[in-house]
Structure 1
Amino acid sequence: MKSTPTSNRMYGLIVLYEMHSDFLLRALEGIDEKDAQKRLDTKANHIAWITGSVVQGRYFLAKSFGIDLPSITDELFANNKSIVDDAVYPSLAGLIKDWQAISPHLQEALTQASDEQLEEKLNIPGMEITLFEMISFNTYREANCIGQIALWRRLLGYAGMNYM
């Protein structure tokens, strides 16, 4: 761990955050841009959409801490928008750039979050959720999405994801 969190509740989540920061990059390693947009004649979310949604999740969470940076995901992923059939999604290179831009800022905010701050209610229509609950959900979702990308790698004929 790079630094000690202010809140003891954040230890495990920060460890996972650091793992996910690296694992997403490993999951995307070597994937061709044209393959990232393939759905293989299904309605499944493709790699570009999955990656964009995870990137957008970090930017959304960062905004909860007052970090308001622009992202290439701002339009196509606003308000948890689902995949659009004929849309061309941002390149993996662009999504990776945004991932690497937001991740250190958000990690610092997560590390410095106080217990009081973690109990703040978020203003999300139709939901009553604390910031800590949103961080926990986002952490779970990142792991899920990285796993989906790892599966897509195999479905598209790429080698399995390298965790080391």
Structure 2
Amino acid sequence: MKTTPKSSRMYGFIVLYEMQTDFLVRALDGIDQKDAHKRLDTKANHIAWITGSVVHGRYFLAKSFGIDIPSVTDELFANNKGIVDDATYPLLADFIKDWAAISPKLQEALTQATDEKLEEKLNIPGMEITLFEMISFSSYREANCIGQIALWRRLLNYPGMNYM
């Protein structure tokens, strides 16, 4: 961990955040763009959608800290939009570029978050949730999505994900 968080509640999340920042890039390593859109005759979300969804999640969370910068995910992933069968998703390289842009900014905000900030209620239609609960959910979801991409690697005959 680079710095100690202001709130002791954030310690474990910061550790996971740093790992997942690296793991997403590792999960995508070597994936050909044509394979990123394969669904193997299923209705499963493809790598491009999963990746964009995770990137969009960080940008969404960052807005709760006043960090509002554009992303290639803004349109295709707005309002928690699911996969669109005939959509052309951005290049994995563009997702990685956005991931690299938002990750240090959001990490700084997470590290500086006070307990008072973490208890703020978020304005999400149909939900009553604190910022801390959203951070918890986001961390869980990132790990889940990275695992899905790691599985897709194997299904598409790529080597397993390298964690080191």
- Give me the whole-angstrom Cα distance separating, in 1, the residues matched to 2:135 and 2:63: 12
Q: After TM superposition, where is structure 1 displaced by more than 6 Å over at least 4 residues in a row?
A: none
Unaligned runs of 5+ in 2: none
Letter in structure 2 aligned against 1:6? K
1:63 aligns with 2:60: no
1:144 aligns with 2:144: yes
Letter in structure 2 aligned against 1:113? A
Residue 38 of structure 2 is matched in structure 1 by 38
- Give me the whole-angstrom Cα distance separating, in 1, the residues matched to 2:40 and 2:69: 34
- Give me the whole-angstrom Cα distance separating, in 1, the residues matched to 2:70 and 2:143: 24
- Give me the whole-angstrom Cα distance separating, in 2, the residues matched to 1:102 and 1:43: 30
Percentage of identical aligned residues: 84
Secondary structure, aligned partner of 2:121: coil
Deviations 1:36-90 (A, max 9, x none): 0111111000000000000000000000000000000000000100000110111
- Give me the whole-angstrom Cα distance separating, in 1, the residues matched to 2:101 and 2:89: 19
- Give me the whole-angstrom Cα distance separating, in 1, the residues matched to 2:112 and 2:9: 12
Deviations 1:65-116 (A, max 9, x none): 0000000000000010000011011100000000000000000000000000
1:18 CA displacement: 0.1
1:53 aligns with 2:69: no
1:22 aligns with 2:2: no
Secondary structure, aligned partner of 2:122: coil
Q: Larger % of strand: which?
A: 2
Unaligned runs of 5+ in 1: none
Residue 9 of structure 1 is matched in structure 2 by 9
- Give me the whole-angstrom Cα distance separating, in 2, the residues matched to 1:101 and 1:33: 21
Q: How does the TM-score come out when normalised to structure 2?
A: 1.00
Q: How does the TM-score come out when normalised to structure 1?
A: 1.00
Secondary structure, aligned partner of 1:33: coil
Residue 105 of structure 1 is matched in structure 2 by 105
Count of residues paired in the alignment: 164
1:117 CA displacement: 0.3
Pairwise CA RMSD: 0.3
- Give me the whole-angstrom Cα distance separating, in 2, the residues matched to 1:69 and 1:6: 24
